[in-house]
Amino acid sequence: MNADLAVGLVLLPMAGALVAFGLPAAYRRALAAAIALGWPLLLLPLTLLVLRDGSIAVVFGDWQPPLGIVWRIDGLALVMLWMHAAVGLAALVHAWPGFAPDRRAAATFWPLWLVLMTGANLALVTADLFNLYVALELVTLTGIALVAITDSTAALRAAMRYLLLAMLGSLMYLAGVGLTYAQNGTLAMAGITALETTPLVLMLAGLMVKSAVFPLHVWLPPAYANAPGPVAAMLAAVVGKTALIALWRVWWLAGDSASQALAMAIGVMGVAAIVYGSVAAMLHPRLRMVVAYSSVAQIGLLLLLIPLAGSDAFVASGFHLLVHGLAKAAMFLAAANIVMALGSDWIRRLPGLDSKLPLEAFTLALAGITLIGLPPSGGWVSKWLLLQQARSNDQLVWMVAILGGSLLSAAYVFRLLAMSCFHASHHARRPIVTRPPRAGSLAALLLALAAALLGLNPTPMLNLLATAWPGAAS
């Protein structure tokens, strides 16, 4: 077992993408599937290594920092790598019939899917600020191309809005990286000893645009809602989450020098995101927009880690990242099937869903339970730990925010469920337009099940995450 295997996490999908662009369109899908299936085989030895040593470091070409690029896989990165593998595989199963080689979009979908996984894995494992910039650019640009793949006016407009804001965000991040380098003489995260407010705020602001923190979220709902189901699942679980992890990591670079006022400001943005996202999700008349706005709210919850700043909050947030990624991907996959079956994504068309598409209704309910944080789902574990941290810090405000956010998410989830199962309407008698493929429904259900069942025995996962807490060393 060798830590250099980690290089394969990026090299494998990247080589796959390059080869796929050269292959005839008929074989691209099969190549993507082969790589997605080989992924766990690569992750397994790395997992054993991380469990044994706590973290893996890869130094490229024996060029040590300050000049060389270092990768580091800690518990958090490892958990997220597995989440990418799971969501990637589910998205692949769901996209299998929809992007069959005879479809127009298939020729570009599969290579782009591979590039997206390349960038997402790179963003997780790199411990170098500029490497992170390159990885995030890769993720965002392919994510946007995948949003635009349906070629509808709404999707193109959403992709354009996303692209303009993402470019603004990456510029701010790059400016911050430049200033950080000027001060520290290195780009390796471990070597950064001094981080002043200006570069810190620039980097944070850039990453906030990319991870869609309120009020910089405006690109997110239309982009997620107009993307095909598998793409929306990948955007929610992979693209948004990697930017958020980058945001946490940059914040920890500042260490104790970061001001308390800044942490408070970020916490307030988080609360605003929870309230705004949840209320918008409660009121919006379209199913996929509701799921997308719920992401805005959940991102707000994940921001609370910064003012809470404790090991419990860290473990809870890492765990929530995982379960929310799984649950949200499941919801987007199920929502895509529902839209396909009903021929519309208006919520008033949902009545009768429980008898028309029982699997999808069940998936929505299961994933919804995780979003709300009802026991025994994974979301319950993370919210409980967050509350514990807030209580031990005596930070009542954030406690209220977490509890209020859970209530609000219950409101929008139950609205969907009530409309689907208990609402009498003439729409209930309408026949199904197109029956969605069974494999895609099962993939969504499995993701939702995983998110819900992770709450039953979370301890091993929580212990693994705890080893990655950056405050443990100091």
| Residues within the interface to other proteins (CB under 8 A) | 67, 130, 134, 137, 141, 144-145, 148, 151-153, 156-157, 159-161, 163-164, 167-168, 170-171, 174-175, 177-179, 181-182, 185, 187
Asked if residues 95 and 230 have their Cβ atoms less than 8 Å apart, the reply is: yes
**What does the alpha-carbon distance between residue 349 and residue 430 come to, in Å, rounded to a whole number?**
9
| Closer Cβ to other proteins, 54 or 185, answer by number | 185
CB of 168 to other proteins, least distance (A): 6
The number of angstroms, rounded, from the C-alpha of 473 to the middle of its chain's C-alpha atoms is 27
CB of 68 to other proteins, least distance (A): 11
CB of 465 to other proteins, least distance (A): 32
Residue for token pair 């929870």: 274
Three-class SS state of 65: coil
| Closer Cβ to other proteins, 23 or 175, answer by number | 175
CB of 133 to other proteins, least distance (A): 8
| Closer Cβ to other proteins, 145 or 399, answer by number | 145
**What does the alpha-carbon distance between residue 264 and residue 374 come to, in Å, rounded to a whole number?**
28
**What does the alpha-carbon distance between residue 88 and residue 13 come to, in Å, rounded to a whole number?**
12
| Closer Cβ to other proteins, 164 or 439, answer by number | 164
Name the burial class of residue 358, with classes exposed (0-12), middle (13-18) and buried (19+) by CB atoms within 10 angstroms of its CB: exposed
**What does the alpha-carbon distance between residue 433 and residue 425 come to, in Å, rounded to a whole number?**
18
| Closer Cβ to other proteins, 153 or 474, answer by number | 153
| Lookup: tokens for 246 | 């980058």
CB of 159 to other proteins, least distance (A): 6
CB of 235 to other proteins, least distance (A): 16
DSSP string for 32-62: HHHHHHHHHHHHHHHHHHHHHHS-EEEEGGG
Three-class SS state of 222: helix
| Closer Cβ to other proteins, 159 or 454, answer by number | 159
Cβ contacts of 8 within 8 Å, gap of 6 or more: 42
**Strands 56-59 vs 70-73: parallel, antiparallel or unpaired:** antiparallel
DSSP string for 392-437: HTT-HHHHHHHHHHHHHHHHHHHHHHHHHHT---GGGGSPPSSPPP
CB of 67 to other proteins, least distance (A): 7
| Closer Cβ to other proteins, 185 or 358, answer by number | 185
| Closer Cβ to other proteins, 121 or 170, answer by number | 170
Amino acid present at 196: E
CB of 170 to other proteins, least distance (A): 8
| Lookup: tokens for 26 | 């008929």
Amino acid present at 157: R
| Closer Cβ to other proteins, 66 or 101, answer by number | 66
CB of 231 to other proteins, least distance (A): 15
How far, CA to CA in Å, does 279 sit from each of 2, 236, 275?
Answer: 49, 19, 6
CB of 108 to other proteins, least distance (A): 12
**What does the alpha-carbon distance between residue 371 and residue 410 come to, in Å, rounded to a whole number?**
8
* Strand partners of residue 346: 286
| Closer Cβ to other proteins, 206 or 378, answer by number | 206
Three-class SS state of 285: coil
**What does the alpha-carbon distance between residue 353 and residue 335 come to, in Å, rounded to a whole number?**
11
